[in-house]
């Protein structure tokens, strides 16, 4: 078996929704929805080893910490692990007063009763009832007519109502899901929901939650938005219902579908952190919340320390968060490629200089610092990288701000190293390449400063007197010039026959405070017209410039040797 040349023989296009004056495309999201995390239910039922009580408690605490106010804590009738965790949680007093726990049950009397039993002692809770309503499920799973399937829901709703009445100390909220809503006839979903509302008698003050699942995502996200808008516009007593979304990600658009359906008028979104859930997962709450954040909307969920959230989620689910997962993945703020690095580096530079409160760094839709991420990993260097990449790493790691022309000079050294090693270059690789290229702090270099003094004559001439190790042997040398650098240049010309002319010079402090050091950069021209760069680093800025001259002299010496 292989892919069909005519897939239409097996698969049909999803039909359009009969709505011509749809409103959602012109709306924008301006406020966060009510969020429900179903990590401990839909997420938990989709992992290899469902969470034990320890993991569930840890996940629950994380969700509370993030600010989730509605948490589906499990499926009490699934077994003792679930039941005991849920009843232990509600009786422990660990559920904050502003947090609602929710449990899910099939529409079967015994399971509904068990679900209510698990919530004994809760101050408030949501009981969530479901049954599938779409044709394939009606026919294949239940083997029932529409009327019989509606009856499953109505019977379950009656049991719910009666069980709730037996525990009047708890403030109950009822939730009903016409499971498989996204692949069901819309008018039938409406009919079943209306029938359930008829039993549970919601009011605007005490509404029912109608949760509209895209149990299996089967169409483009605009279709789901149409379905939700159609449902809302045709639901009698809309005021008595909270419209909730529950999307899956089979086509990779679970978040998009929830966003568009929110524009269609929904009030609430169910999902999981980092999109865990059945098959391809549920709507990712992190992505959806942070999508809102990047539009200037406070999502009411706090991901200020996203790495800690990931750590807990990975531990509990025993599933890794993908390195490219929106907002959280390890690589999502990292640029390896040259042109991206260049733009990001410039963007950060402009951001610092202009002090612009609006975030406008190219290629980064969000400031990683808002999520507790450092800027270190924003740029990483490999063989696809450019000058902006290693310049950024040297600046972050060593504090060096290389002049633009020196970046171009250093670039082939980095490229060579990346090609030779065939892997990413880390900060120490780049620092090593820099030290080797400019003879900074490396042993075995030809000229090495031992010590020096500077004096002036009455006419302002500077005199450099010092000791320079030449191939390991200290040598006393001196020279004159109208400045320190020119006096060192004349020294190396007199002592070693190396003629260098200064083309460019710059310097900067490396770190602030008592331990501050300085870096000096020097471009020189040799007598045969070649350009050479030198760099010196020292606690004393004048000494850094002397070292920069010797750094260039070492390169000139190597060139001269090579030419022989």
Ligand X SMILES: CC(C)C(=O)C(=O)O
Ligand Y SMILES: CC(=O)SCCNC(=O)CCNC(=O)[C@H](O)C(C)(C)COP(=O)(O)OP(=O)(O)OC[C@H]1O[C@@H](n2cnc3c(N)ncnc32)[C@H](O)[C@@H]1OP(=O)(O)O
For the annotated binding site for Mg(2+), the residues are 42, 246, 248, 282
- Binding site, by residue number, is 42, 246, 248, 282
CB of 76 to ligand Y, least distance (A): 9
Size of the site for ligand Y (CB under 6 A): 18
Task: Starting at the earlier edge strand, list the strands of the sheet with 518-526.
Answer: 500-509, 518-526, 531-538
504 within 8 A of 490, measured Cβ to Cβ: no
**C-alpha pair distances (Å), 68 with each of 62, 64, 118, 300, 328:** 9, 5, 21, 8, 18
Among positions 131, 240, 244, 491, the unique one binding ligand Y when judged by CB under 6 A: 131
Q: Does 523 bind ligand X (CB under 6 A)?
A: no
Identify the CA nearest to 105 among candidates 129, 141, 80, 86.
129
381 within 8 A of 500, measured Cβ to Cβ: no
Identify the CA nearest to 405 among candidates 391, 392, 395.
391
Q: Does 177 bind ligand X (CB under 6 A)?
A: yes
CB of 371 to ligand Y, least distance (A): 30
CA-to-CA distance for 182 and 213, rounded, in angstroms?
A: 6
Q: Which residues of 406-415 are buried (b: 16+ CB within 10 A; e: fewer)?
A: bbebbbebbb
**The 3-state secondary structure of 245-310, one letter per residue:** EEEECCCCCHHHHHHHHHHCCCCEEEEEHHHCCCCCCECEHHHHHHHHHCCCCCCCCCCCCHHHHH
Q: Among the candidate windows 18-26, 153-161, 207-215, 434-442, which touches ligand X by CB under 6 A?
A: 207-215
CA-to-CA distance for 105 and 160, rounded, in angstroms?
A: 10
Q: Among the candidate windows 70-78, 383-391, 412-420, 465-473, which touches ligand Y by CB under 6 A?
A: 70-78
Out of ligand Y, ligand X, none, which partner does residue 45 contact, by CB within 5 to 8 A per kind?
ligand Y
Out of ligand X, ligand Y, none, which partner does residue 177 contact, by CB within 5 to 8 A per kind?
ligand X
CB of 247 to ligand Y, least distance (A): 12
Q: Among the candidate windows 210-218, 307-315, 506-514, 521-529, which touches ligand X by CB under 6 A?
A: 210-218
State the virtual CA torsion across 84, 87, 92, 96 in degrees, nearest 10: 130
CB of 119 to ligand X, least distance (A): 18
Q: Among the candidate windows 27-35, 95-103, 188-196, 208-216, which touches ligand X by CB under 6 A?
A: 208-216
CA-to-CA distance for 372 and 304, rounded, in angstroms?
A: 5
367 Cβ contact partners less than 8 Å away, ≥ 6 residues apart: 359, 361
Q: Does 151 bind ligand Y (CB under 6 A)?
A: no
Residue 264-303 contact track with ligand Y, rule CB under 6 A, x = bound: --------------x-------------------------
CB closer to ligand X out of 183 and 543 = 183
Task: Dihedral sign for Cα 198, 201, 203, 208, please.
Answer: negative
Q: Output the six-digit token pair for 223.
A: 């279709």
Q: Does 445 bind ligand X (CB under 6 A)?
A: no
Q: Among the candidate windows 100-108, 161-169, 220-228, 359-367, which touches ligand Y by CB under 6 A?
A: 100-108
Among positions 74, 213, 386, 389, the unique one binding ligand X when judged by CB under 6 A: 213
Q: Does 42 bind ligand X (CB under 6 A)?
A: yes
Tell me the residue length of the chain.
564
CB closer to ligand Y out of 222 and 282 = 282
Out of ligand X, ligand Y, none, which partner does residue 56 contact, by CB within 5 to 8 A per kind?
none
CB of 186 to ligand Y, least distance (A): 19
Q: Does 317 bind ligand Y (CB under 6 A)?
A: no
CB of 246 to ligand X, least distance (A): 4
**C-alpha pair distances (Å), 432 with each of 403, 425, 427, 472, 510:** 19, 10, 9, 21, 18
CB closer to ligand X out of 150 and 557 = 150
CA-to-CA distance for 35 and 243, rounded, in angstroms?
A: 12
Q: Does 74 bind ligand X (CB under 6 A)?
A: no
Q: Does 105 bind ligand X (CB under 6 A)?
A: no
Q: Does 130 bind ligand X (CB under 6 A)?
A: yes
Beta bridge partners of 244: 211, 268
Residue 49 CB-half CA count within 13 A: 8
CB of 206 to ligand X, least distance (A): 21
CA-to-CA distance for 328 and 306, rounded, in angstroms?
A: 7
Judged by the rule CB under 6 A, the positions of this chain that interact with ligand X are 42, 104, 130, 177, 179, 211, 213, 215, 246, 248
Judged by the rule CB under 6 A, the positions of this chain that interact with ligand Y are 42, 45, 75, 77-78, 104, 106-108, 111, 130-131, 141-142, 152, 179, 215, 278
């Amino acid at each position: 078996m292989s892919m069909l040349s005519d897939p239409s023989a097996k698969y049909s296009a999803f039909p359009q929704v009969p709505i011509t004056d749809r409103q959602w495309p012109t709306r924008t999201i301006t406020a966060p929805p009510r969020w429900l995390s179903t990590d401990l239910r839909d997420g938990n039922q989709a992992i290899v080893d469902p969470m034990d009580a320890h993991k569930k408690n840890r996940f629950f605490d994380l969700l509370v910490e993030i600010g989730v106010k509605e948490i589906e804590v499990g499926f009490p009738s699934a077994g003792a692990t679930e039941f005991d965790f849920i009843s232990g949680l509600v009786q422990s007093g660990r559920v904050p007063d502003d947090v609602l726990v929710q449990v899910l049950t099939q529409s079967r009397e015994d399971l509904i009763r068990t679900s209510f039993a698990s919530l004994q002692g809760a101050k408030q809770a949501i009981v969530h009832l479901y049954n599938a309503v779409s044709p394939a499920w009606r026919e294949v799973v239940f083997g029932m007519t529409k009327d019989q399937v509606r009856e499953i829901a109505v019977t379950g709703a009656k049991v719910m109502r009666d069980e709730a009445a037996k525990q009047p100390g708890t403030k109950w909220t009822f939730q009903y899901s016409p499971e498989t809503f996204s692949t069901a006839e819309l008018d039938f979903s409406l009919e079943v929901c209306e029938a359930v509302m008829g039993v549970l008698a919601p009011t605007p003050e005490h509404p029912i939650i109608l949760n509209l699942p895209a149990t299996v995502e089967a169409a483009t996200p605009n279709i789901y938005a149409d379905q939700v808008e159609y449902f809302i516009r045709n639901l009698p007593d809309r005021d008595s219902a909270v419209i909730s979304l529950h999307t899956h990600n089979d086509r990779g658009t679970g978040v998009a579908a929830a966003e568009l359906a929110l524009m269609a008028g929904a009030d609430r979104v169910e999902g999981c952190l980092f999109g865990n859930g059945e098959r391809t997962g549920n709507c990712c709450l992190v992505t959806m919340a942070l999508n809102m954040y990047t539009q200037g909307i406070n999502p009411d969920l706090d991901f200020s320390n996203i790495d800690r959230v990931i750590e807990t989620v990975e531990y509990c689910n025993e599933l890794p968060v993908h390195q490219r997962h929106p907002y959280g993945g390890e690589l999502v703020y990292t640029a390896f490629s040259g042109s991206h690095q260049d733009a990001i580096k410039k963007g950060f530079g402009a951001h610092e200089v202009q002090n612009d409160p609006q975030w406008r760094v190219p290629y980064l839709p969000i400031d990683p610092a808002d999520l507790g991420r450092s800027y270190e990993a924003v740029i990483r260097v490999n063989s696809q990288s450019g000058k902006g990449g290693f310049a950024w790493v040297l600046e972050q790691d060593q504090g060096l701000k290389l002049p633009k022309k020196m970046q171009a000079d250093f670039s082939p050294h980095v490229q060579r190293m990346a090609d030779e090693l065939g892997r990413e270059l880390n900060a120490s690789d780049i620092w090593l390449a820099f030290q080797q290229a400019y003879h900074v702090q490396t042993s075995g270099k030809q000229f090495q400063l031992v010590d020096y003094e500077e004096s002036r004559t009455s006419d302002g001439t500077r005199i450099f007197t010092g000791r320079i190790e030449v191939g390991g042997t200290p040598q006393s040398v001196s020279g004159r010039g109208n400045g320190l650098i020119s006096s060192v240049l004349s020294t190396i010309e007199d002592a070693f026959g190396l003629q260098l002319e200064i083309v460019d010079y710059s310097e900067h402090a490396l770190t602030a405070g008592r331990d501050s050091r300085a870096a000096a950069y020097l471009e020189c021209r040799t007598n045969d017209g070649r350009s050479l760069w030198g760099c010196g680093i020292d606690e004393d800025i004048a000494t850094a410039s002397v070292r920069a001259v010797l750094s260039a002299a070492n390169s000139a010496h190597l060139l001269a040797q090579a030419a022989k």
